[in-house]
Structures are given as structure tokens and as C-alpha cells.
Amino acid sequence: MKKLKTIFSPRKLVLWLCIVLLVFTLPQLNAKAMSQTEAIVTMMFVDKEQDTIKVSAVVLAPGQDRTKNQQVYNGEGETLSAAVDSVSLSLGKDMGFAQCQIMGLGDNICKDGVINVLDYMTRTKKVGRNAGLINFSGKIDEFAQATADVNTSKNLSLEEIINFDKRFILAKNSNIELFYMGYFGDTGIGIIPKISLLDKPYKNSVEAGQSGGESAGAGGSGSGGGQSQSKPPKYLFYDGTMSVFKFGKTVNTIIPTMVDKLNYFVDKNQTGSITVEGVNDYLYNNARVVVNMANKKVFTFVSFKDGKPNLDVSVHISVMVEEVDEENPTQKILRRNQEFLTPELVKKIKEKIESDMHEALDYCKQNKIDVIGVYKHFNAFAYKKWKKYIQQTGKDNFLNDIDLHITTLIKSEF
């Protein structure tokens, strides 16, 4: 006992600590640097061509020229793991996915179902579930190269583009976690941005660098990388189009104008603009007026009337008149310190919002996609009646009998 106490006396403990540190640190001096054994993947793209899975990985190459520090490596295989392994072989390193910020899914694989892909990437390869998720169209290797070039030569990143987008598109981050939430939710709906690759520039497109970038190892085991090829520039095109998934498979694409209409139902979406035509009163002369939404609150109430579900949505918006387009503007419009929100304009804005919201709900009914959370509201606030109702209609047709009642309150931000 006394011996033990002597061995573990405070003075001896310092010695013990040094011994333990030596035991653990000395072997590390001989260890290889992690960058020598593992490649840092910043973006990962997956698609399918016939029965072959194709992958492209954007890999960070530290210490090189900034304009060339992201390189693309491609691989393919019968299974996803075989395709990823083929990229590893061409790289000569393991692929580290912990820093992967974007997961891109091609059109073909989206149609077939993406849940297994996401499961493999998040569970086996440990891609963070906060990584952005996008649907892309076009050739996988070209798309990966374009995004790598945008990141390096334009000081932009796809992540920034889609994260900025969350302010406007249904007010949600697009990431794997949210996709899972939709998938495991009652309706199975998930929404992610759809980005295209164009040969010619178009509005909202981002040129993917003039260099043509470096394309490496087109699949095949151990095919090596780094062959420079000169290619014409491609343009990433994103205008807010969204791909809608139902239980992991694409079912629809929502165009940006419809996204704006759907956004009226979403409380968290605080921004956007409303355009009304033909405003004619003491201030405006048959004008087209654009108002900016400065603040928005959406209150949703649910009830049942004669066994039918009623959705009462109250939209409170603070607006600011931004742009007035009229043929013969008078001096009145130039006057400062006056209220530009006239009763006629308010009436027009209300009409516009109500018609847009009805149109949005009709769109959802027609396509059987509940992207505005109708199921969630009824399930939360009228559970028993809703459960009974769902038993009658089935989960695919529950939107059909929804009666929408809208109340709007327009306030001036002036």
C-alpha cells in the first residue's frame, strides 16, 4: 500500500505524465502527414448512366496556385462504393469527406431514387448532413469541373449561391438533413435547388472560368490524373428553380414564378417583391408598381366544416413602394415624404396575393405535392379529424378538398 502511494505521489506523477506523453507522441513523429494519405473532398457529384454509377469529386489540393487548387477526379462503377473506390485509386489516396460542403445529384439518379446514395455518403463516408444538396442537369464531369472553376477563378462558391437562395426559396436551407426530414415526414416531400449547365451565357449564369480547368482520370482504376484539356467555358445557371422529391424520387420541377407564389404560405420567408399592374388613382396613372416586402407574418388556422378541411391563412405584410412604371409620370410621384401606398394600390396588392395563393394551392393539388405544409398544420392542430379525413381520402389526395380562405393585411413600411 505504502509502495503504491510512493509510486503515485504527486512528484512521481509528473514523471508518469512525461512517460505517457512520450509513449503517445514519439510514434507520431514517424507518422505520415494526413494530406499525404487523405484527399480533402469539398464537393461530390453522383449520377447514373444506364447501369453505371458515375461520381465526380472536387478535391482540394493544398499549397498549389489558388486558381488551380480545386481539381476534379472522376470515377465509375457498378455500385456507388465501387465508383468511389475507383476515384480513390486514381488519386492514390483515401477520400476524406468530412469537409464536403456540396452533394450534387444528377437528373438520372434523382429519378431512380437518392436515399440509398445519401445513406452511403452520410453513414459510410461521413459526409456531414449539413452539406448542401443540389440537383444538377448536364454531364457530371463537366458540371463538377464548372463548379470547381467557379470556386477557384470567380471567388464564388456553389455553397454561397444556394445558401443565399434560402432567403427566397421557401425559406429553407437546402441540405441533406432537411431532405431527410422531408423524406421521413408524413408527406415524403423534399425540395432542393436545381442547377443547370449551359453552353451559352444566360441571365443569372455564372461563367465557369476561361482556363477550362483540369480534368483528371476519367474513371477506371488507377488511370492517373492531371491531364490538361482545353475546353470551352461552361455556364452554371441558377434562377431559383426547385426540384421536388417525393419519397426520394423527383416528381416535379417548380419554376421560380411559382416558387414566389408558394412563398406567401411560408412565414419564415421574409423577403421578396410583388408586382401589380394597372394601378390607377390620384397618385398613379395606369402604373405598374413593384413593392418590396419588408416584413411578413403568416398565421395559419385550420378547421373542419361539414367534414371538409378549411385552411385559413392570414398574411400580414409590410411593404415599401420601390419601382413605379407608368407612361406619363407626373411630378406627384417625385414628391418626397409622402405615402406611396394608396388604397387602390393596397387593393391591387391584396387581389394579387390572394390570386397567387389560390394558384399556388391549385398547383399543389394538381401535382399532389404538399410543399406548403398543409398536412403538418392539420396534423398538429386538428389531429383527430384530420386522421379520419386522411383515412377517407388517402395520403395522395388529401389536398383535393382543402378550402382556402385568405385574409391579407397590408401595412406601409414608409
d(CA 209, CA 295): 38
Taking residues 95 to 114 in sequence order and writing x for each that binds another protein by CB under 8 A, - otherwise, the string is: -x-x----------------
d(CA 164, CA 161): 5
What would the 3-class secondary structure string for 115-154 be? HHHHHHHHHHCCCCCCCEEEEECCCHHHHHHHHHHHHHHC
Task: Choose the stretch contacting another protein; rule: CB under 8 A; options: 126-134, 198-206, 221-229, 258-266.
Answer: 126-134
Task: Choose the stretch contacting another protein; rule: CB under 8 A; options: 181-189, 278-286, 287-295, 352-360.
Answer: 181-189
Nearest Cα to 409, choosing from 254, 296, 260?
A: 296
Task: Choose the stretch contacting another protein; rule: CB under 8 A; options: 40-48, 123-131, 143-151, 361-369.
Answer: 123-131
Beta-strand pair 273-279/249-254: unpaired
Taking residues 139 to 178 in sequence order and writing x for each that binds another protein by CB under 8 A, - otherwise, the string is: --------------------------------------x-
d(CA 24, CA 69): 34
Residue 299 parent element (H or E): strand 287-305
Which is closer to another protein, CB of 118 or CB of 144?
A: 118
* Least distance between another protein and beta carbon 383 (Å): 4
Beta-strand pair 102-106/249-254: unpaired
* Unique residue bearing C-alpha cell 454561397: 160
Does position 128 bind another protein by CB under 8 A? yes
Does position 130 bind another protein by CB under 8 A? yes
Does position 132 bind another protein by CB under 8 A? no
| Alpha helix segments (H runs only) across 72-228 | 80-91, 107-112, 115-119, 140-153, 158-165, 176-184
d(CA 114, CA 306): 41
Does position 295 bind another protein by CB under 8 A? no
**The only residue of 20, 22, 255, 409 in contact with another protein, by rule CB under 8 A:** 20
Fill in the DSSP letter of residue 170.
Answer: T
Which is closer to another protein, CB of 139 or CB of 376?
A: 376
Nearest Cα to 253, choosing from 195, 188, 166?
A: 195
Which is closer to another protein, CB of 31 or CB of 334?
A: 31
| C-alpha cell read off for 158 | 456553389
* Least distance between another protein and beta carbon 23 (Å): 8
Taking residues 369 to 388 in sequence order and writing x for each that binds another protein by CB under 8 A, - otherwise, the string is: -------xx-xxx-x-----
User: Which 258-287 residues touch another protein, going by CB under 8 A?
Assistant: none
Does position 4 bind another protein by CB under 8 A? yes
Which is closer to another protein, CB of 68 or CB of 376?
A: 376
Which residues contact another protein (rule: CB under 8 A)? Answer: 1, 4, 8, 20, 24, 96, 98, 128-130, 177, 180-181, 184-185, 376-377, 379-381, 383
